[in-house]
Amino acid sequence: MGKLLSFEDHALTRLRARVAAAEEAREDLLAFARGQSGAVAAIHQAVLAALEASDFDHLLHVVVQEWPLILGLDAVALGLIVGDRGFRVDSSGIQHCEAALLRQWIDRAESVELRTVERGHALFGPASDLIGAEALIRLPDALPEAILLLGQRGAQSLDGRHGSELLLFLGVSLAAILRRWTINP
């Protein structure tokens, strides 16, 4: 006589595996949504802090001193081109730098570049050695011309498209605030 196979046990095992996979996917989606919501809130808070700056020097202080705390980063730097002169602004102050160094990043096609690095961009100054991931954000139509650099020790945490959109919003906002302080100080 033949042996009777139970398909019910096999089907039940497969169903349990699919439910477990669906539950894991749901947890991943919730974690992503919470993280995305937190990133949006932090970027909005950073823009509001910049809007409250009382003058141009205070704005620079907010960007390089307060934004790292607000955004959960290890370093923030700003590169500015004024006339034919370049400036690097970071937590240690304002230093002269080669305008050509800034120009090569400002003239790039990409508005936001997220990358993992062994050493941070030179514009981070002394913090360059600590940076393991960075975002370079070209500030569109900024006066003066500018690039914003965000750096952290660990690997990149913002996902590609959504992270870039948030960082582009941060850059566009900062560009508008810079224009406000340079056109109507």
pLDDT in tens, 89-117: 998 899 999 998 888 888 876 889 888 89
CA distance 14 to 77: 53
CA distances, 172 to each of 71, 90, 114, 132, 169 (Å): 16, 19, 16, 25, 5
User: Which domains does the chain show, CATH number per domain?
Assistant: 28-183 (3.30.450.40)
pLDDT in tens, 62-76: 999 999 999 999 999
Inter-residue long-range contacts of 5-10, CB under 8 Å, 24+ positions, other chains counted: none
pLDDT in tens, 39-62: 888 999 999 999 999 999 999 999
What DSSP designation does 3 have? P
Where do the H-state alpha helices sit in the chain?
7-51, 56-61, 67-71, 99-106, 160-183
- 10 Å CB burial of residue 142 (0-12, 13-18, 19+) is buried
How much is the pTM? Answer: 0.76
